[in-house]
């Protein structure tokens, strides 16, 4: 089978993903990653060249040279899924082994989060402020924001349907009160409460852009400010209260607790504070030794 013949199977693969009820954002991601592969094969080997693993490995090498390991693995996962669908599993690529970090440079602190919310309200961006508050209070993915409805507020809980898996997340009375007040002001009596001017749910791009604009205005590093990082923020706060990792996994919708562990990176500053509390020796017992050694 040639590169051209293989590439022609892409629309059929995308249709398969839709039948499997993949989220549209996920399907778009698969499409983009595979188009990148086929573009590389066309430019470097031609459309009539036989589709083989050696060329796939060369593409993987180019990814390693220009992308972060996590991004490389995402693209490899898309390629491998496509290879399974086209019954070419023997062509599958090995993902990169990544050592998990104990710290994250993008950890958002409580003062920074508070500043974001206060600034958003001060700028009269009430909707964005409430969205940030909701994501950080419930640990939702941005794609799950559409499940926050007037009906959910009336029940005090939201039922999340993500890729055919259902879970229930309780809405705290404090958050419920704020969101209910928003509905009254905007005359929202049913359905999704965070809508744009076209009465459609706000897009991920719009929300992310607004959040970063607010971050710049209040002096918070905008690299820390994106919707999914508020899910991380919730995870850390939940565990700081002494709750169990397994309970957090249920709330976040993770089938495997190991997936949840990725959200538990602490900031480098916090890690330094934690390490400073670990006393291996007392200063008085070893001070004399160091004094003599330094002479």
Residue boundaries of the structural domains of the chain: 3-91, 110-268
Establish whether domains 3-91 and 110-268 are of one fold. no
Tens digit of each residue's pLDDT (9 = 90 or more) over 149-172: 999 999 999 998 876 778 889 998
Q: Which candidate, 154, 211, 142, places its Cα nearest to that of 179?
A: 154
- Residue 236: pLDDT over 60: yes
**Domain with residues 3-91, CATH architecture:** Orthogonal Bundle (1.10)
Residue 274 confidence (pLDDT): 58
Q: Which candidate, 79, 108, 110, places its Cα nearest to that of 94?
A: 79
Residue 295 confidence (pLDDT): 52
pTM across the whole model: 0.63
2: which strand partners?
50
Tens digit of each residue's pLDDT (9 = 90 or more) over 166-200: 888 999 889 999 999 999 998 999 999 998 888 88
- Residue 293: pLDDT over 50: yes
Mean pLDDT to the nearest integer, 88-109 = 77
User: Could you tell me which CATH class the domain 110-268 is placed in?
Assistant: mainly alpha
- 200 Cβ contact partners less than 8 Å away, ≥ 6 residues apart: none
């Amino acid at each position: 089978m040639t590169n051209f013949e293989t590439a022609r199977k892409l629309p059929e693969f995308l249709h398969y993903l839709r039948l499997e009820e993949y989220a549209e954002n996920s399907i778009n991601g698969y499409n983009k990653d595979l188009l990148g592969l086929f573009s590389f094969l066309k430019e470097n080997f031609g459309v009539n060249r036989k589709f083989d693993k050696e060329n796939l490995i060369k593409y993987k090498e180019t990814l390693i040279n220009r992308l972060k390991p996590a991004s490389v693995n995402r693209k490899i996962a898309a390629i491998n899924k496509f290879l399974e669908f086209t019954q070419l599993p023997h062509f599958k690529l090995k993902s990169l082994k990544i050592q998990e970090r104990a710290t994250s440079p993008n950890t958002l602190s409580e003062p920074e989060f508070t500043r974001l919310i206060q600034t958003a309200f001060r700028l009269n961006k009430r909707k964005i402020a409430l969205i940030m508050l909701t994501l950080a209070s419930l640990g939702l993915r941005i794609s799950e924001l559409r499940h926050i409805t007037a009906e959910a507020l009336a029940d005090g809980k939201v039922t999340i349907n993500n890729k055919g898996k259902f879970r229930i997340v309780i809405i705290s009375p404090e958050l419920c009160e704020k969101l209910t007040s928003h509905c009254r002001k905007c005359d929202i009596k049913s359905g999704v409460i965070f809508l744009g001017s076209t009465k459609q749910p706000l897009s991920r791009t719009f929300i992310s852009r607004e959040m970063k604009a607010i971050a710049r205005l209040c002096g918070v590093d905008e690299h820390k400010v994106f919707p999914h990082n508020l899910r991380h923020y919730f995870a850390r706060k939940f565990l700081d209260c002494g709750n169990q990792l397994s309970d957090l996994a249920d709330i976040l919708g993770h089938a495997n607790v190991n997936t949840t562990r990725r959200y538990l990176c602490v900031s480098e500053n916090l890690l330094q504070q934690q390490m400073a509390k670990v006393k291996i020796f007392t200063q008085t017992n070893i001070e004399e030794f160091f004094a003599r050694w330094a002479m």
